[in-house]
Amino acid sequence: MRNPIQHYAWGTRDTLAQMRGAPVPAPEPEAELWVGAHPKSPSHLVQDGGERSLAEAVEAEPDRFLPEGAERFPFLFKILAIAAPLSLQVHPSREQAEAGFAAEEAAGVPVDAPHRNYRDRGAKPETVIAVSPVRILTGIRPAEQLREIAEALDLRWLAEKAQLDAAALIRAIFDADDAAAARDLQVTVAAARDWAAEHPFDPHHTPAHQEAAGERITALADLVLLLDEAYPGDRGILVATAMNQLFLEPGQSAHTPAGQVHAYVSGTAVEIMEASDNVMRAGLTPKHVDVEQMLTVLVPDQPAPPLCGPEEAAPGVHRYATWDPALSVTRLDLDGQEPLSFRCEGLSALLCTDGEVEVTGTDGVAHRLRGTDSLLHTGTPDDLVLTGAGRLYCASHV
């Protein structure tokens, strides 16, 4: 398949270009590569010298491409190349999405309107897998950590809110009047600047080191200054101050459930998600922020997700679980020596992120994949033989 690139401003100009062997720097930011049948930007099937949109193919032949009972392609598979922080976001549950979509349809809000919140009826759970070190924000810190930060940086506003649950804390930040929010922002940025002057942040420290009490505050100070440079005056900086900041090592994964505020800050990752466009923003963005709607989908309890490693199924074959037992991601690593055998089942997309790999099915047809190339498998299981040196990720719905 040929996969589209999304040119969002927060993307890098080198990561995806290097993967596919293109000149660096790229002429414009390259933030995401999409593999799937999303109607906004579908992959294209390349076969027998011709091309066809995967979205059109799915619509024309649903029995061939969709799992039994599915009404749409069950996942969107991505490479994220993050150079600058993304907006703070929250995604609704499926029930909330269905109700919200119906309400906006009844109100006559155009699906493509900038202020539209629910563009479809779907939930948007997502699991991210670090390719390089990845820095993320997700959920709200426990009260003891909030008090620790408030004391170290002398943040009265945070001390006053430390006992609130996650949803109530975020509501309190957005309920504050503009003058109070501006004062809290000024104090927070000044405190971060003073702390950073005496405690320089080292992004190369291990995640375990980053979680030491003093280092947590050093990492937070660095984050606040980074966000202030990108989004000065945005009260989303106050939300971010209260959020769990996690540092994923390559190979680790983290899951974001419905109702949890989150943002990606930096790094390269593979992400699998449901193909929904339902996003409620909570700051750090010039885009529409519907505070009331965002607050309705927040869940009260938002702990940091565990950072998970994969299960080794065989040498060179590592499997990641997701929120859906039918959906998984498998990492396939080849060292250029021994061939690798892999059983491909259900609806699967194999995506190359590094090197060059030849994939041969039981029909004897070989496909050569380089960085950002992909293959789509449907139908009966196939025992693949992989040769070469490189890395593939396989998203499978079985």
Which residues belong to the annotated binding site for Zn(2+)?
A: 89, 91, 126, 262
- 221-240 burial, b at 16+ Cβ within 10 Å, e below that, comes to bbbbbbbbeebeebbbbbbb
On whether both 138 and 229 belong to a single domain, the answer is yes
* Judgement on whether residues 273 and 332 belong to the same structural domain of the protein: no
On whether both 198 and 251 belong to a single domain, the answer is yes
Structure-model confidence comparison of residues 211 and 305, the more confident one: 305
Question: What angle do helix axes 213-230 and 178-198 make, rounded to 10 degrees?
Answer: 120
DSSP states of 316-339: TEEEEE-SSTTEEEEEEEEESSS-
CATH code, 372 = 2.60.120.10
Helices (H), 154-177: 156-161, 166-175
Q: Does 115 reside within a domain?
A: no
The predicted structure's pLDDT at residue 210: 59
Asked whether the whole model's pTM tops 0.85, one would answer yes
Name the 3-class secondary structure at 269. Answer: strand
Distance CA 118, CA 243 (A): 25
Measured distance CA(189)–CA(197) in Å, rounded? 12
Residue 382, classified by CB atoms within 10 Å of its CB into exposed (0-12), middle (13-18) or buried (19+), is middle
| 195 membership: H or E segment, kind and range | helix 178-198
Q: Phi then psi for 305, rounded to 5 degrees?
A: -70, 155
* Contact residues for 356 (Cβ-Cβ < 8 A; gap 6+): 368, 369, 370, 388, 389, 390
Q: Which residues have a Cβ under 8 Å from the Cβ of 84 and sit 6 or more positions away?
A: 9, 10, 230, 266
**202-244 pLDDT tens trace:** 877 665 555 666 799 999 999 999 999 999 999 999 999 999 9
93 within domain boundaries? no
**297, 331, 362 - which closes a domain:** 297
Confidence bin at 368 (pLDDT 50/70/90): very high
| pLDDT at residue 32, as a whole number | 98
Residue that finishes a domain, picked among 270, 297, 324 = 297
pLDDT at res. 286: 82
218 and 280 part of one domain: yes
Q: What are the catalytic residues?
A: 281
pLDDT in the model for residue 202: 87
Helix boundaries (H) for 199-290: 207-210, 213-230, 236-241
Binding residues, as ranges, are 89, 91, 126, 262
In this structure, are 269 and 140 located in the same domain? yes
Strand 366-370 with 317-321, pairing = unpaired
Q: What is the pLDDT confidence band of residue 36, given thresholds at 50, 70 and 90?
A: very high
What is the number of structural domains in the chain? 2
**Domain that residue 248 falls in:** 134-297
CA distances from 305 to 71, 137, 141, 308, 391 (A): 30, 10, 11, 9, 26
Which of 115-119, 186-190, 227-231 shows the lowest per-residue confidence on average (mean pLDDT)? 115-119
Cα(111)–Cα(99) distance, rounded to whole angstroms?
A: 15
Give residue for tokens 């059109």. 56
Please check whether residues 283 and 339 belong to one and the same domain: no
